[in-house]
Amino acid sequence: MNKIKNTLLIVLMIFSAYSCDDKIVEIFVANSPIYMSYEDLAKSVKQTNSRKLNIPGKIYFKDNYLFVIEDKTGIHIIDNADPVNPQNISFIDVPGVVDMSIKGDVLYVDSYVDLVAISLADLNNITEIKRIRDVFPYTLPTYDEDYPLAQIDQEKGVVIGWEIKTIRQEVEDRYYPVYWEGGMFLDAASSSNSFADISGSGFGVGGSMARFGISENTLYSVDDSMLHIFDITNANNPINYGEFYAGWMIETLFISGDKLFLGGRDGVRIIDIVNPRFPQYLSQFRHVMGCDPVVVSDTLAYVTLKGGNACGNSLDRLDVLSVADYSNPRLIATYMMKGPNGLGIDGNTLFVCDGEAGLKVYDVTDPLKIDQNMIANFPGIIAVDVIPYNGLLFLIAEDGFYQYNYDNLNAIQLISKIEVVPIAK
């Protein structure tokens, strides 16, 4: 609050000196953007030595390798051939990365506004093989909300950080501030060891918080409102097929057969991708405002709703939907939670990351009695997202990357952990 007061005292609406162009000069303390030019961005992907996990994000698994995004910085590669002793083997610098997916031995990632294809054919020599420029919305990194934003000049490149300083900027008389919401701008006036390599076939699996997904020869990526479609028949040469309007404030993407389930703050949308290049909207299940990843198994969809902050309402819950009729999804059960994030499903076993309540494991054989059939609870973990796979559960939490063996559901065991090492301030 003191910062805000000091800022207001410093803000000087100087002179109100109108020129013939009706300009006003403002001087104030603000988040001033630090840019990376588009030319430097195009040369930024490179392989480096392994490093500690600092701010881990999305997770992905393929061919005994785990890929963990370091928030907007790059991707950790972890050799998980021995889950009891995972080895952090390498790091890929990818500025602006938030999401990823893999087909064969090609890794697809976002790098601010670009889609980048990266070859994993030789894990000792990871290289960029194609870049499709300017296909994703222009995004901003987190900033100090005690200070306003200075004007952004997209012509200078992408914003990779901020510095707090006094700025002087000239604005139009009818200047409207630019707000940031859900990954899009809104105008307020209009609102070197040797390792085994990644296999050249098949796909990997991501967590429930993913915005990237692959169905056969098509890569899908969703932002706040648009579904981006890429042909990856030739994995080394992705082709941009364009965009499909997906809705409002979309957050996650889950593929089940020939259907896309999009989790948004106002509900779950179901999209038909029988014709992968021409998606068709089928239906939407509307719920109260909340952050809501979704996973699907057979005719049931499981959705976590998290309230508070940017997510909206104060309700925290797990919803179970019947999607037997894709054109008419129906709510069949609701269970209260503490602060749910991601979730995963394997057969009749549901894994829920329930914030400060930790990891919860349920038998969902009877979807109407889930709360009566908790198998296990691992408190004391701020769990974020999970991937269950063949008896192994990969869990990313605020303090580290955890692995559990759940072959015996009556004796789920933590078998390894890679600690997060916070960045010194």
> Can you tell me the mean pLDDT for 282-297?
81
Residue 159 — φ and ψ, nearest 5°?
-90, 120
Instruction: Say if CB 94 and CB 109 are below 8 A apart.
Output: yes
Take residue 419 and report the two structure tokens written for it. Answer: 């600690």
| Residue 204 to residue 255: CA distance in whole angstroms | 13
Beta-carbon contacts of 110 under 8 Å, excluding residues fewer than 6 positions away, are 96, 97, 98, 99, 100, 116, 136, 212, 221
| Residue 102 to residue 82: CA distance in whole angstroms | 21
More confident residue, 185 or 29: 29
Residue 190: predicted pLDDT: 28
| Residue 268 to residue 274: CA distance in whole angstroms | 19
> Can you tell me the mean pLDDT for 243-254?
92
**156 has a pLDDT exceeding 50:** yes
DSSP three-state, residue 7: helix
| Residue 283 to residue 250: CA distance in whole angstroms | 14
| Residue 109 to residue 242: CA distance in whole angstroms | 17
Q: Give residue-wise pLDDT tens across range 177-234.
A: 333 333 333 332 222 344 556 766 677 899 888 999 999 999 999 999 999 999 999 9
Q: How big, in percent rounded to 5, are the helix, strand and coil portions of the chain?
A: 5, 50, 45
**424 has a pLDDT exceeding 80:** no
Average pLDDT, the chain: 87
* Residue listed under structure tokens 């069949």: 332
> Can you tell me the mean pLDDT for 343-357?
95
What band does 16 get if pLDDT is binned at 50, 70 and 90? Answer: very low
**418 has a pLDDT exceeding 80:** yes
Strands (E), 368-412: 374-378, 383-389, 392-397, 400-405
**264 has a pLDDT exceeding 60:** yes
**300 has a pLDDT exceeding 80:** yes
**420 has a pLDDT exceeding 90:** yes
DSSP three-state, residue 15: coil
Q: Indicate left, alpha or beta for 325 from its phi (over 0: left) and psi (-120 to 50: alpha).
A: beta
Q: Give residue-wise pLDDT tens across range 359-371.
A: 999 999 999 999 9
Instruction: Say if CB 354 and CB 371 are below 8 A apart.
Output: no
In this structure, how many other beta carbons lie within 10 angstroms of the beta carbon of residue 109?
A: 26
Beta-carbon contacts of 412 under 8 Å, excluding residues fewer than 6 positions away, are 361, 375, 376, 378, 393, 404, 405, 406
Residue 26: predicted pLDDT: 82
**342 has a pLDDT exceeding 70:** yes
Residue 266: predicted pLDDT: 82
Instruction: Say if CB 152 and CB 140 are below 8 A apart.
Output: yes
163 to each of 31, 166, 183, how far by Cα in Å?
A: 6, 10, 21
What band does 291 get if pLDDT is binned at 50, 70 and 90? Answer: low
Residue 411 — φ and ψ, nearest 5°?
-150, 60
Give 129: exposed, middle or buried? Use CB within 10 Å, 0-12, 13-18, 19+: middle
> b or e along 247-268 (b: 16 or more beta carbons within 10 Å of the residue's beta carbon)?
bebbbbbbbbeebbbbbbbbbb
Take residue 390 and report the two structure tokens written for it. Answer: 């063949």
The distance of Cα 62 from the centroid of its chain, to the nearest Å, equals 18
